[in-house]
Amino acid sequence: RSRRTAPRRRRTRSHCRSGEMFPRRLQASVRKFGTTSSSPLSWQPTGKPQQTLASGVEKSGVGLHSGASTTVRLLPAMAGEGRYFSPGPGRPRIPATVDHVVESPLCTTLRRGAARVLTVEHLLSALEASGVDNARLEIDGGDEVPILDGSAREWVEAIEEAGLCAAKDHNGNEIAKLATLIHEPMYVWRDDSFVAAFPQRKTKITYGISFPQVPAIGCRWFSCFPMDDLVYAEEIGPSRTFCIYEEIESLRNAGLIRGGSIENAIVCSGTTGWQNPPLRFHDEPCRHKILDLIGDISLLSENGNQGLPIGHLIAYKAGHALHAKFARHLKDLMMKLEPEMQPSVLKQLSA
């Protein structure tokens, strides 16, 4: 089985600046770009085969919101199957796609019929960034993916332990991996929050957050380029989820974060600052938002193709709901592509 042995190098750049109001500034940026295609996006071969895990691996822990102890097994899957959850005997598999996202507070939830899986974003983020295109994800003990230490680091380590290999279909053949290429600017927004994408030759992600009521967090921006598995493992995956100390009581009264603790989240007060230092990065909350965005946008992946589009993704003060709205917007555009530009046809041409 294959393992990554290349040294990990620091290749990211972060900066802090004041937030800008949307949509006026973003619309001005949109007008600067010309359309380079008759379609706003297209499918493009990555030059790589679809991958899966070389062996199985499992992790156990407590669910952030349910407080239940669960175990998730990451298992190999055939090329073209994509990533999907198997929540237990007698329940249907739940494809990890945007079509199965349902609204839920403070996490991303997938549902199919009566079966559901909560808080999938950190696991899916690690799988997408690590190049695990096809995987069977079994969950026992409950319906929530364990939060572990609040980051994706343990998932990345589990994937490295299992190793990666080229996935084969039922005929023993490899399948070419495709990705969505952004040709023109597009965005979704709500109030002063937005998620946008601009043409770029490689995937780049920029995220801005603004917490004026919590000076220790404040307004920060972080940008990752290129977004690959090495950058993710060092600069994004270890960043932990965060919460505001003054909001904890109300969240628990609402039945949320029952499994939350200082062992799986970094907590910040508006008056006294960080309650459980040290941080892994000075801008850890901003980096964690990129982690969440990758997990949510990975839900664009279908049939083992890449979820993250090739382009510059920019988000500001967004959350899981807006991430999902953007993913649905891209999915709608994909469905409007001409028949000859659909993945099934391109797969044959690039094989």
**CA 333, 50, 5, 155: dihedral to nearest 10 degrees?**
70
List % helix, strand, coil for the chain (3-state, nearest 5): 25, 30, 45
Q: What is the largest CA-CA distance in the chain?
A: 61
**329 is written with which tokens?**
């917007």
Side-chain half-sphere CA neighbours of 5 within 13 A: 3
Burial 264-276 (b: 16+ CB within 10 A, else e): bbbbbebeeebee
Task: Delineate the domains of the chain, giving CATH numbers in brackets.
Answer: 13-350 (3.30.230.20)
pLDDT of residue 342: 62
Which candidate, 99, 41, 60, 95, places its Cα nearest to that of 328? 99
What does each of the 351 residues of the chain score in pLDDT, given as a tens digit? 444 433 444 444 433 333 334 445 555 554 444 433 468 999 999 999 999 999 999 999 999 999 999 999 999 999 999 999 998 887 899 999 999 999 999 999 999 999 999 999 999 999 999 999 999 999 999 999 999 999 999 999 999 999 999 999 999 999 999 999 999 999 999 999 999 999 999 999 999 999 999 999 999 999 998 889 999 999 999 999 999 999 999 999 999 999 999 999 999 999 999 999 999 999 999 999 999 999 999 999 999 999 999 999 999 999 999 999 999 999 999 998 866 556 654 554 444
pLDDT at 31: 47
Other beta carbons within 10 angstroms of residue 338's beta carbon come to: 10
Burial of 325 (0-12, 13-18, 19+ CB in 10 A): middle
Q: How far is CA 60 from CA 81, 150, 255, 291, 298, in A?
A: 25, 13, 22, 20, 23
pLDDT value at position 164?
98
Helix extents (H) in the chain:
24-32, 121-130, 153-162, 229-231, 248-253, 284-297, 320-335, 343-350
Q: What pTM was computed for the model?
A: 0.89
Whether the CB-CB separation of 288 and 76 falls below 8 Å is answered with no
Q: How many CB atoms lie within 10 A of CB 9?
A: 9
